[in-house]
Amino acid sequence: MRLLFLGDVMGRSGRDAVSERLPGLIAAYEFDFVVVNGENASHGRGLTESHYADLRAAGADVVTLGDHAWDQRDTLTYIEREPTLLRPINFAPGVPGRGANLIESRNGHRVLVINALGRVFMNPADDPFRAVEAAIAACPLGEQADAVVVDFHTEATSEIQAMGFFLDGRASLVVGTHTHIPTADARILKAGTALMSDAGMCGDYNSIIGVDAEEPLNRFLTGIANGRFTPAEGEATLCGVAIETDDRTGLTTNVSPVRVGGTLSQSAPFA
């Protein structure tokens, strides 16, 4: 299988880039399955139902969230009827939605997608390692699942590395989201799991992590809020990671970073 993962979609610029470029990427590289992190798609804060529909229409088979999951209040209700929208699996027990699901690809492959939240430099959450492990145990790679994709939404590269080694041989891809800055460490671990510390964002990189630079810079310089954070509106770079898996084992045979369009240095899938 060929799978594409795209990092946090940031505001209108990110949404437009996904709508304009994702269908062409799927066609050109014959991706069987696409996961997109949508936690910042609606003005940088959460994901409205109509923006969720836009990401799905562009080709996202599954949309994941993160610490901004509930920034748009309507997500608390519509997530209940959307099996392809995932919020972190280690939120408090009983909150709306689900953190993992087995989804069938357009050509009949079964992909287990899991969204989890880290705990280093993040707000308190339940243990992400045991939560992810339980989801995989219920639906193991190479048995019930033809591929397993874990979006681990966290700040520290050490924590995402730990998740990668924890799941080596049990997942196809462990990829970080949340920092909005792509890392240069995509590789395949010894037992066949692809690991990348952060996918980067789908947003305008002429910014501070997707936000117009003026106000965050002001806050670093003065410590005084002088306005709101607003998403930068220049052309977005689509950032993420592409993998090819062995159809028999579900393990990864090829991994490459993806950066398309906008101002960031470019990297095509499987280049």
Please select the residue that binds Fe ion; options are 11, 38, 66, 231, rule is CB under 5 A: 66
User: Rule CB under 5 A: is residue 61 a binding residue for Fe ion?
Assistant: no
Q: How far is the CB of 157 from Fe ion (least distance, A)?
A: 15
With a CB cutoff of 8 Å and minimum separation 6, the contacts of 124 are none
Q: How far is the CB of 77 from Fe ion (least distance, A)?
A: 21
Comparison of 51 and 178: residue with beta carbon closer to Fe ion: 178
Residue nearest to Fe ion (CB): 8
User: Rule CB under 5 A: is residue 40 a binding residue for Fe ion?
Assistant: yes
Please select the residue that binds Fe ion; options are 54, 67, 168, 204, rule is CB under 5 A: 67
68 is known as an active-site residue: yes
If you write DSSP's letter for every residue of 77-94 in order, what string do you get? HHGGG-TTEE--TTSPTT
User: Rule CB under 5 A: is residue 51 a binding residue for Fe ion?
Assistant: no
State both tokens at 136: 């995989």
Q: How far is the CB of 208 from Fe ion (least distance, A)?
A: 13
User: Rule CB under 5 A: is residue 198 a binding residue for Fe ion?
Assistant: no
Q: How far is the CB of 240 from Fe ion (least distance, A)?
A: 13
Do 13 and 203 touch, CB atoms closer than 8 A?
yes
Comparison of 71 and 246: residue with beta carbon closer to Fe ion: 71
Stretch that binds Fe ion, among 2-10, 46-54, 69-77, 93-101 (CB under 5 A): 2-10
User: Rule CB under 5 A: is residue 178 a binding residue for Fe ion?
Assistant: yes
If you write DSSP's letter for every residue of 211-252 in order, what string do you get? B-THHHHHHHHHS---S---B--SPPBEEEEEEEE-TTT--E
Active-site amino acid positions: 68
Residues lying near Fe ion in the complex (CB under 5 A) are found at: 8, 39-40, 66-67, 178
